[in-house]
Chains A and B, each alone.
Chain A
């Protein structure tokens, strides 16, 4: 792969990642959120493939394929299924209004760009220059967790967080050992499945899936 193709593909995939992350913050539709997640998964897989192939590792196909299957197919499908079961399609419980959310998201993205420079030091590696995207994914995922109340959007935020961490690791180190990546991915999958079940129970018990009403987790 030539340097220009590499640069182009890198820019595309990371740009797509950032776009989908920012768009998450905007809407209130659950289905849309899950759709954006699918796109994010595809972008991530593309990123992994690009970086891997450029580095000359053939296992990149396996890893990318794995990521694609899990993050773009299985997890969104599971989440959609749970959402349909519960009958929730729109997010009603947000703790702050849309304007504040958007401004916060913008601020966090700026912060991500500000800190990633000093943190990474002087990595002249091309891939490393796209790391701020990973940081912003992490921070935006956290932001979602913080400001949204519905269990499904919480899950979306968590998955975005995970995507962000994966992005950072692939961009700086060329990926993690297959074993670790497998383990982490399986972990997250498990979380999604379990939470899917939990959400159904929540709906049955209290009639909604707003987690701000759950306050028993203390001494």
Chain B
């Protein structure tokens, strides 16, 4: 391919640019002195992310690359087929998503990375991770996919270990993460292996084109879903998410939560829409069940967390659950031949994915800014940050608005599309649909309600009221790079919500669904649902009402100005300390009671009486622990069983060398006899 021809093929040029920039970023991370490392590495990775975003968008809108082939020659090994990078429209969408998130995270990292995260290893790992993640959706065959997947996993594991010297939980979190990531890799390998063997090739085109017998297809589906569900953080293999995401450096948490889990979603879409379309109905039911369970469980756990980053991590499980539910609904409708509404559901899933990427990155970056300024992640110890960190608090507020699916953010548009698809299902003739759809609706509704509570809590307790500790009182605003990333993210959250029409049309193109068009400027028209959503018009209406109201208020304010007083009212002059405020644990206490059986919270009240007056209380300590029920009920027994089996096996080892030699001997004789008898 001549350089000239390259220049005219945007997709190929973009892919090459990403590879080049990634390599440059690694070189910069290793060679540049510490002073410049943050800026240089961060900028290079950020630009690579932007390149990915541009390339991905071009691919989404229909630009087709000629298929970039990278010959890989490993010495002394069997010759590999060249790696094939050729993103289709769906891959382009996820590449754009990953690129945008990486760009924001790297920009934030310029100002945020400190200590081990800013070391050579830290930035190299981030560069490798970013490159892997951007190339996963661009892969056009299974080998390239798995290679990029491993790059992504490896880079993230290394960067996760950044703070291990100072905190023990980091090590434990990394072990969980490493084990589950590699389990997912093994499942993917097995699944792709089964498919490749059945269809005779490893490229997506071959796998999609080959006819696969039903049992083989089911096996491949189960294996691949197991691997993808682990990466995406669905129940019951989500346990690594709330451990790993909080412990990573914040720019990494943002990238992991907002983009990496989407690679699992991309895999599911690839599997169900391209590789094995027309699967049986129960596949869709499985997806809906997994998704609904994850959504509900995730948001329930999120609503009772006091650790801000853990809250956000569980919220990721919830959102991925919602996306999977939407995909499941779409597939179920396709199998019932309601193609128009199925298209709406799938577009809703993609909208949810895009909006989640936007608001989750802002939220995690905001949490990072808070952590950077106060050294605290615990909401119970924060408060009053809005006055001290205005930029962070406004951006976090916008992100929280998006997470709670309130107008006029992209989260709102996505939720609206999902609900529209659910109510337009024609379930009169189909019993299964008549049962599944209302249940799904109920679950989605409860999730939305709990999400509202969670994010009001996260924002209100952390940023409003008065500071509960000196650390919170001493907070300072973030640096320019961090601020820029936060503001850009917030703009994206609102901006994507104001143009739902063009956005949805592009997304509908990714899955070849029709019935989605733009109306009235940038509004969204769902033909199948006969529903219109025009956020711009809604905003204008609100402004039309708000402006006279504000003017009236201003007139009244001039006549009766606001008076500053010393004490808040609090029913008689509030002389208590900020520690008497409601904090995150108390905010969700009613929920803990209502959902007692699902949360299994352990509460301990410790009362210390006065020495001289045993009836008077000197001090009371309240401790609440909410573990992860799935981890306690499923994983702990499983690991205990594995341990017991290991102990059993240990009795065979008695130390005698003769016995060990005897084992080898017996094995050899057995093999010889068996082969001879065959």
Contact = CB atoms under 8 A, between A and B. Distances in A.
Q: Do chains A and B touch in the complex (CB under 8 A)?
A: yes
Contacts of B673: 111, 115
Contacts of A204: none
Interface residues of B, number: 20
Interface string A109-123: 001001101110000
A142 B665 contact: yes
Contacts of B664: 142
Contacts of B543: none
B655 interface: yes
Interface residues of A, number: 23
A135 B676 CA distance: 13
A115 B661 CA distance: 21
A216 interface: yes
Given A118-B678, A119-B676, A142 B668 contact: yes
A201 interface: no
B657 A211 contact: yes
Contacts of A145: 658, 661, 665
A143 B657 CA distance: 13
B655 A146 contact: no
B675 A146 contact: no
Contacts of A142: 661, 664-665, 668
Given A118-B677, A146-B661, A146-B665, A218 B653 contact: yes
A205 interface: no
B166 interface: no
Contact of B676 (A115, A143, A215, A218): A115
Contact of B656 (A138, A139, A212): A212
B650 interface: yes
A156 to B, nearest CB: 14
A145 B658 CA distance: 7
Contact of A118 (B650, B662, B665, B676): B676
Nearest to A211: B657
A180 interface: no
Interface string A63-105: 0000000000000000000000000000000010000000000
A119 B650 contact: no
A149 B659 CA distance: 12
Given A119-B676, A219-B650, A111 B669 contact: yes
Contacts of B605: none
B43 to A, nearest CB: 49
Contacts of A118: 675-678
Contacts of A194: none
A214 B654 CA distance: 11
B672 A216 contact: no
A217 interface: yes
Interface in B626-678: 650, 653-658, 660-662, 664-665, 668-669, 672-673, 675-678
A146 B661 CA distance: 6
Nearest to A118: B676
Interface in A176-219: 211-212, 214-219
Contacts of B676: 114-115, 117-119
Contacts of B660: 217
B333 to A, nearest CB: 56
Nearest to B650: A219
A142 B661 CA distance: 8
A212 B655 contact: no
B164 to A, nearest CB: 27
B653 A119 contact: no
B577 to A, nearest CB: 55
A146 B653 contact: no
A106 to B, nearest CB: 15
Contacts of B669: 111, 139
Nearest to B655: A215
Given A115-B672, A118-B677, A217 B657 contact: yes
B661 A218 contact: no
Contacts of B672: 111, 115, 119, 135
A146 B667 CA distance: 13
A111 B664 CA distance: 17
Contact of B657 (A111, A115, A138, A214): A214
Contacts of B653: 218-219
A115 B675 contact: yes
Contacts of A114: 676
A119 B675 contact: yes
A117 B673 CA distance: 11
A187 B475 CA distance: 65
A215 B661 contact: no
A216 B655 contact: yes
B655 A218 contact: yes
Contacts of A212: 656-658
Interface in A119-165: 119, 135, 138-139, 142-143, 145-146, 149
Nearest to A142: B665
B654 to A, nearest CB: 7
A177 B593 CA distance: 74
A117 B661 CA distance: 26
A135 B668 CA distance: 11
A89 B108 CA distance: 76
Contacts of B654: 215, 218
A143 B664 CA distance: 11
Contacts of A117: 676
A219 B649 CA distance: 11
Nearest to B647: A219
Nearest to B657: A211
Contacts of A149: 658
Nearest to A112: B672
Contacts of A111: 669, 672-673
A19 B676 CA distance: 25
Contacts of B665: 142-143, 145-146
Nearest to A158: B661
A146 B659 CA distance: 8
A117 B678 CA distance: 12
B647 to A, nearest CB: 9
A71 to B, nearest CB: 22
A111 B660 CA distance: 22
A120 to B, nearest CB: 10
A217 B657 CA distance: 8
Contacts of B650: 218-219
Interface in B130-180: none
Given A111-B669, A216-B655, A146 B677 contact: no
A218 B202 CA distance: 44
Nearest to B665: A142
Contacts of B657: 211-212, 214, 217
A127 B194 CA distance: 42
B656 A215 contact: yes
B678 A146 contact: no
A214 B661 CA distance: 14
**What are the nearest 6 A-B pairs in CB distance?**
A215-B655, A115-B676, A118-B676, A218-B653, A218-B655, A115-B672
22 contacts: A115-B673, A115-B675, A118-B676, A118-B677, A119-B676, A139-B668, A142-B665, A145-B658, A146-B661, A146-B662, A146-B665, A212-B657, A214-B655, A215-B656, A217-B655, A217-B657, A217-B660, A218-B653, A218-B654, A218-B655, A219-B650, A219-B653
Given A119-B672, A142-B668, A215-B654, 13 more contacts: A111-B673, A115-B672, A115-B675, A115-B676, A142-B661, A145-B661, A145-B665, A146-B662, A149-B658, A212-B658, A214-B655, A218-B654, A218-B655
Interface of B: 650, 653-658, 660-662, 664-665, 668-669, 672-673, 675-678
